[in-house]
Amino acid sequence: MKNKTKIVSIIAGCFAMIIGFSSCIKNRLPLETDFSHLQDHVGIIKGGLTNFGAANFSFFGADSVTLTLIVNLESANLPSSPLKVTIGVDAAKLDSYNSANGTSYTIAPSNSYIIGSTTLTIPAGQQFAETTVTFIAADLDPTISYMLPISIMDASGKQLTGNLNTIYYHIIGNPIAGIYTWNFTRWSDPDTTTHSPDGNSFTGGEAIFVPDDKTTVEVPSGYYIGPRYVISFDNIGGVLSNFNVILNPDDVATMANAGVIVTKGPIIMIADPIAKHYKFFYTTKTRAVIDEYYQ
């Protein structure tokens, strides 16, 4: 009798645990999965000021660059019918950004970009729609910082995500950026006094000073893998000074892994922003190199 009572007690206890566990799940699951109380809203992927840096672009010597703009529907349920979203250039956001940050971005001229479509349609049963924005290098002055803020103007009555409603496409101008004529001289020995330049030298080439930021550019050398010079300077009220040059550390490491060791330099021979004339020299264990750039 005592054993039977014990078994009944155990079964009753287990049943109570099951009931209690079920009750916990019932109480907890809505907090984890029920989003029906949230209002649908639409935003731009990688939009907003928190993603400002990610909206920076550069041409890196290309004639154009094409970027993908994606709009996103945040909703508890996928739409049962297509959702039309209209986007457009929002110049007021540029003015606000400049005012808040003390910057001087210029609106990208209308001939410098092509928006694939200003009307996007999120299909039924989906969350996303996309278009392209293409920037044309020839129509942008590399010495000027440009911005093209694109905002969602209408989302067929859906609420807009305030902080993700605009994407701030921008390119940083640099006063020495641009296309330069390029002369490259190489010696098959680090001692330039005992040898003549070798057959890998050339004149009249073309190189591009690509901005990293407002006071730093990079440009390739003509030697081996084309290690990039990183040229930096001070800009005080438009007066450029204190020029410095190094070789891009990643490129130096790549060469070193192949046994090509930089032994001296780079050294600035000429850095004249008025004449737009730059000349740099360095050596490796087996070579001497001069790169000259001018406009």
The neighbour count for residue 251, using CB atoms within 10 Å, is 20
Side-chain half-sphere CA neighbours of 249 within 13 A: 0
Residue 36: predicted pLDDT: 52
- Of 153, 171, 189, the residue that ends a domain is 171
Residue 74: exposure state from Cβ atoms within 10 A (0-12, 13-18, ≥19): middle
Distance separating alpha carbons of residues 226 and 25, to the nearest angstrom: 62
Inter-CA distances, 78 with 40, 71, 82, 122, 127, Å: 10, 14, 10, 10, 7
| Shared-domain flag, residues 127 and 147 | yes
| Shared-domain flag, residues 219 and 124 | no
- Of 154, 171, 188, the residue that ends a domain is 171
| Shared-domain flag, residues 191 and 276 | yes
Distance separating alpha carbons of residues 122 and 127, to the nearest angstrom: 6
Residue-range definition of the domain harbouring residue 45: 41-171
Torsion of CA 247, 248, 250, 251, to 10 degrees: -60
Domain count, the chain: 3
Q: Model pTM?
A: 0.74
| Shared-domain flag, residues 156 and 73 | yes
| Shared-domain flag, residues 5 and 62 | no
| Shared-domain flag, residues 160 and 74 | yes
| Shared-domain flag, residues 127 and 78 | yes
pLDDT in tens, the chain (295 residues): 444 444 444 444 444 444 443 444 333 333 443 445 567 889 999 999 999 999 999 888 789 999 999 999 988 888 889 999 999 999 999 999 999 999 999 999 999 999 999 999 999 999 999 999 999 999 999 999 999 999 999 999 888 887 899 999 999 999 999 999 999 999 999 999 988 999 999 999 999 998 989 999 999 999 999 999 999 999 999 999 999 999 999 999 999 999 999 999 999 999 999 999 999 999 999 999 999 999 9
141 token code pair: 């002055």
| Shared-domain flag, residues 46 and 157 | yes
Distance separating alpha carbons of residues 271 and 186, to the nearest angstrom: 20
Residue 77: predicted pLDDT: 84
Kindly report the CATH number assigned to the domain that includes residue 54: 2.60.40.1740
- Of 171, 201, 234, the residue that ends a domain is 171
| Shared-domain flag, residues 56 and 155 | yes
| Shared-domain flag, residues 86 and 208 | no
SS3 of the chain: helix, strand, coil, percent, to 5: 25, 45, 35
| Shared-domain flag, residues 186 and 243 | yes
94 token code pair: 């540029």
| Shared-domain flag, residues 186 and 156 | no
Contact 175, 143 (CB under 8 A): yes
Residue 37: predicted pLDDT: 55
HEC sequence for 71-103: EEEECCCCCCCCEEEEEEECHHHHHHHHHHHCC
